[in-house]
Structure 1
Amino acid sequence: MAITLVIGLLLLLAAWRDVVARIIPDLLVLPIAILGIAGRLSLGWGALLEAALAALLLFVILLACAMRGWLGGGDVKLAAALAIGLPPAATWNFVVATTLAGGLLALGYLNGPRLAPRLAPAGAAHPLGRILAVEAWRLRRGGPLPYGVAIAAGGLVTLLALREG
């Protein structure tokens, strides 16, 4: 349970960093992978090998997407790091949950320029106001999605489902 909590907090931090800077630092991704490996290894070498193979397959598929410019490298690393700590069947659930969250994120960004209020310069002085102002600016210019948010959401949903099961 403690590992799940720490991974969940790291996912939230990764999503935050992706929104703020469009970068997912290795210092957040590496502990997720290490904790996942430790968790799978506690179930035996076979469990770790199965998870590693599923994570490798996911990494290769996402790397091909990144090479086409559809994802960022941090997104690929974050997804693979989380997958290495999941049972293979849960990795599929993670992919589905992330895809759904990514679709909702994309809908928000597609509709965002029409829906996002223009923030007054005074509101931009507050850190949250500044972030919202920058996101509104990115929305108006068709900037990239912070897909780390979708990956974190899919990961959190998957981790919660594993705890329930």
Structure 2
Amino acid sequence: MNKYICLILVGIFCVACNNSNKNKTLNNNQNQVGNKKFTKVEIQKLLDKGFKILEMVDQKTKDTILMQQYFMAFLKKGKDSTQSNKTGDSLQRLHLAHLKKMYDLGYADISGPIGDLGDIRGITIYNVPTLEMADSLANSDPSVKAGRLQIELHPWWAAKGTSLR
């Protein structure tokens, strides 16, 4: 029962989006994705930090869409997932604290559990410039270190500034 409650809590506190720039006006130096606009300066800052980005034009709306490479971490059942309930509960609390820290520091944009009990237990989208950085952050999770989870990482492209609906 505790596992299900923890899984639900992960999903609740890790889903968020930031639409703080809705009121900017669009001009020739900006690029728009939904309600978010990106200036050439903001785009250059992303490039300077090492992010991979590309601009695409939506054929229907003719809007320029800023695509960014993110890293999707699949949190899979680890080789040592048979800890006692007490140890498992402790690792789960540490795992949730790790995910919250990744979100608070801006390294992860969204995390959540998978709704079945298969080998893939959850997903985290890392908003960092390199696979190596995503790998380091994902593998610093206490549940990964303990062998309860293991990480499988993949590059993933999405329109910057979009949100779930």
TM range (shorter): 0.3 to 0.5
Q: Higher strand proportion, which one?
A: 2
Q: Which of structures 1 and 2 has the bigger CA Rg?
A: 2
TM-score, length basis structure 1: 0.33
TM-score, length basis structure 2: 0.33
